[in-house]
Structure 1
Amino acid sequence: MQLSQMFVHPMKSARGISYSRAYASQQGLLHDREWLLVTPEGRFLTAREFPRMVLIEMDLIPGGMLLKAPGMTPVMAMTQVYTQPVVTAVWKDEFSALHGDPKVDECLSQYMGVPCKLLWLGMQSRRVLQEASTPMSFADGYPYLLVNQASLDALNQELAQPVSLRHFRPNLVISDALPYEEDDWSLLRIGDILFEVAKPCTRCQLTTVNPLTGEFSADNEPMRTLIRTRQLPEGICFGVNLIARSEGILQLGAAVEVVESRYTF
């Protein structure tokens, strides 16, 4: 097995960037989910509610990023401007992040069709992953999401219209495994980095957002098929959430080794 693709999503729910080489820390891949759109009151926004968010693209530049979206004038968000602490939350985790440029807020508010503001995680995250006592990004619940290409291929055999990896927004993609083999893993090594499998990744309507059009699928796929085929004790699952036990550089082609499995025969 090997690492075949990597994606960094600089802003939660926006389009990911494909990488061939990236630094992996306990917080996640470098720059992953370090920006967040929130309401003026601090409630976080995602493509579950605003599917057009998946069309927002980012080019990482020194000290910030350039944001682009259909019909929106490109705008730069520079981290040096983001200095004002504000309280926000991702699900049940309440913590502080940094607010900055009102011009960026104005551009994104016009694109989104609702008032919103952009927050930066900061150089040091103020959110903690409780079970590992490590810093946490704006990701839903865990620093890493891994998807098995063979599992996606098996799912697409059940669908009238195949879906892409981007429907599932993974950080890490592996190849040369068996379909849904990842359900049984508890500890794996990718290159030189050791990862604990925290849990299967539960899924929601975000999987039905077309990453090319920013629209929900008319037939509720692939969620309808996942409900039928991927009911696990944890819920409707596809992929696995990981916690890094070490840090270092990940590169495409790195060997993937299963160190421990949940079940032994």
Structure 2
Amino acid sequence: MKDLAQLSGINIFPVKSTSGIAQSRAYVGLEGISFDRRFVVTDTAGRMITARKYPKMVTIKSTLLPDGIVLSAPDVKDLHLSISDLEREEFECKIWSDRFFAYTTTDAANKWFSDVLDTPALLLYCGEESNRYREKLDTKVSFADGYPVLVISQGSLDELNRSASHPQSMAQFRTNLVIDGVAPFAEDSWEKIAIGDVEFKVGKACQRCVLTSVDPNTGEKMAAQEPTATLAKFRADEKGAIFFGMNLIALNEGVIEVGDELRVLETRTAITYADTRS
């Protein structure tokens, strides 16, 4: 008997490109899950700094407080940041091709990230409501790469690990939602889904980059060029771009909880990829 399709994991990443936090219940807003990618590290010109260039960022951990956040990194003192202490001066930042106003935090936060990354850095905050409106999505988005939410099924990771040279973890793919009880890559064929109180429109497949090859525990490169080496054999398009997971746009706001049933409301024809695995 097939298992019930259900939400088995919820993850948020309060500071873009840093370690995530698993949650059992979360509130989904139109711009994403509460507290997800609400902070970003940038250079002094407001251009995002990510773990693609500074892989040790994935070892920075966040702990949420009622009035703020605590950030921890190896061999340095924790940074305590209260929302009420943020300067909140408008500061233009750039996330890929999007330019919009975010807000400054504190000199102490800027210094902390500059010291940890050994490069001049700023920590910016998107506010209670992001100023980043993505016209093609018709929604606001926080500091996430392009879409508010990312979903991956456990079956998809299991299928990757069936061929990978050594086990890969869901944490490498920095997904918000994990779904159990569906076939590998079932998410490719979803057009509209519902979880808990929230309905989601399914956007494009998520194109993966070098960040998936960074060990989320150590910040070091994974062995044997994984998972790229394996994904390239069965999840690449004709141009060689690799896809794993699907982007989501929330159509309404509400609560989701681990254990909620996944309801597939509409489907699409899934993109097919050449499979060169032996």
Cα drift, residue 245 of structure 1: 0.7
Structure 1: distance between partners of 2:171 and 2:230: 17
Question: 4+ residue stretches of structure 1 with deviation over 3 A?
Answer: 232-235
Helix, strand or coil at the partner of 1:157: helix
Matched, 1:240 2:242: no
Matched, 1:185 2:175: no
Cα drift, residue 116 of structure 1: 0.4
Matched, 1:49 2:53: yes
Question: 1:228 maps to what in 2?
Answer: 233
Structure 2: distance between partners of 1:82 and 1:241: 32
Identity of aligned residues (%): 39
Cα drift, residue 263 of structure 1: 2.9
Question: 1:194 maps to what in 2?
Answer: 199
Q: 1:82, 1:120 within 8 Å by CA — same for their partners in 2?
A: no
Question: 2:21 maps to what in 1?
Answer: 17
Q: 1:150, 1:179 within 8 Å by CA — same for their partners in 2?
A: yes
Cα deviation code 1:115-169 (max 9, x no counterpart): 1010011122110121343221000000000010000001011112111110000
Cα deviation code 1:32-77 (max 9, x no counterpart): 0000000111110111110000000011112211110101110112
Q: 1:11, 1:36 within 8 Å by CA — same for their partners in 2?
A: yes
Q: 2:165, 2:224 within 8 Å by CA — same for their partners in 1?
A: no
Superposed, which structure 2 residues align to 1:1-265 within 5 Å?
1-80=5-84, 81-232=86-237, 235-263=241-269
Q: When the two structures are superposed, what TM-score results if normalisation uses the length of structure 1?
A: 0.96
Q: 1:44, 1:90 within 8 Å by CA — same for their partners in 2?
A: yes
| Unaligned stretches of 5+ residues in structure 1 | none
Q: When the two structures are superposed, what TM-score results if normalisation uses the length of structure 2?
A: 0.92
| Bigger strand share | 1
Question: Between Structure 1 and Structure 2, how many residues are aligned?
Answer: 264
Corresponding letter in the other structure for 1:247: E
Helix, strand or coil at the partner of 1:194: strand
Corresponding letter in the other structure for 1:15: S
